[in-house]
Chain A
Amino acid sequence: DTAVSQTPKYLVTQMGNDKSIKCEQNLGHDTMYWYKQDSKKFLKIMFSYNNKELIINETVPNRFSPKSPDKAHLNLHINSLELGDSAVYFCASSLGRIGELFFGEGSRLTVL
């Protein structure tokens, strides 16, 4: 019974393409996140939603657009992919804004 699930697990695509990653949590949490982990393993927050409202929007290119249709879902759409977008993208959720983060398995994006 997966708590935070994200799809797809792997994406390989060409520069300039558009791609989406979906995330769902069944923990009843009210806050969801997107984190980016680069090749050096640095984990950086990109976006956070609390009860479907965007509360954190880091300095991320406009090509990245999150969307939260409801509290249990947070999707990430990326336009005009660039080589530097290659990374592992983790979805996470928590109860409240400060507390344990439950991560999904990650989506490894490779841009060629």
Chain B
Amino acid sequence: GENVEQHPSTLSVQEGDSAVIKCTYSDSASNYFPWYKQELGKRPQLIIDIRSNVGEKKDQRIAVTLNKTAKHFSLHITETQPEDSAVYFCAPNTGFQKLVFGTGTRLLVSP
């Protein structure tokens, strides 16, 4: 299956707060789990990714955690800043070797 859902669909936080976005997928063959950020009017860009042999990966203020048993992975952003405001997409691969983009989460960080 290729169901990829994200929650929440929108998230509003105050600057400095943490934000967590969850991605649930259905294909048990998935082994690559990236997150993309798309600012308004711009192209999507990779911000962090993880492979199935690792449970967690961190890069400065962002981290990704993976629960392969439960088929979900999450994006964590700490100390949010207004420039983190964007739409975030997860895009796990499928057994057919393609990335399927999630439904997207609009993050708004208020100063």
Are B87 and A100 in touch, CB under 8 angstroms? no
Q: Tell whether A97 pairs with B97 under 8 Å between CB atoms, given A42-B103, A42-B104.
A: yes
Are A43 and B101 in touch, CB under 8 angstroms? yes
Are A100 and B98 in touch, CB under 8 angstroms? no
Q: Tell whether A90 pairs with B43 under 8 Å between CB atoms, given A43-B89, A98-B32, A100-B34.
A: yes
Determine the residue in chain A with the shortest Cβ distance to B31: A98
Per-residue A-contact encoding for B94-105, CB less than 8 Å = 1, 0 else: 001111110110
Are A44 and B101 in touch, CB under 8 angstroms? yes
- The segment from B16-24, B44-52, B55-63, B64-72 found at the interface with A is B44-52
Are A101 and B103 in touch, CB under 8 angstroms? no
Determine the residue in chain A with the shortest Cβ distance to B38: A41
Are A42 and B101 in touch, CB under 8 angstroms? yes
* Residues of chain A with a CB closer than 8 A to B49's CB: 100
Determine the residue in chain A with the shortest Cβ distance to B98: A56
Are A48 and B98 in touch, CB under 8 angstroms? yes
Is B93 engaged at the interface, CB distance under 8 Å to the other chain? yes
Is A103 engaged at the interface, CB distance under 8 Å to the other chain? yes
Per-residue B-contact encoding for A16-50, CB less than 8 Å = 1, 0 else: 00000000000000000001000001111100100
Q: How far is the CB of B90 from chain A (nearest CB, A)?
A: 11
* Residues of chain B with a CB closer than 8 A to A53's CB: none
B-side residues, CB < 8 A to A, are 32, 34, 36, 38, 42-46, 49, 87, 89, 91, 93, 96-101, 103-104
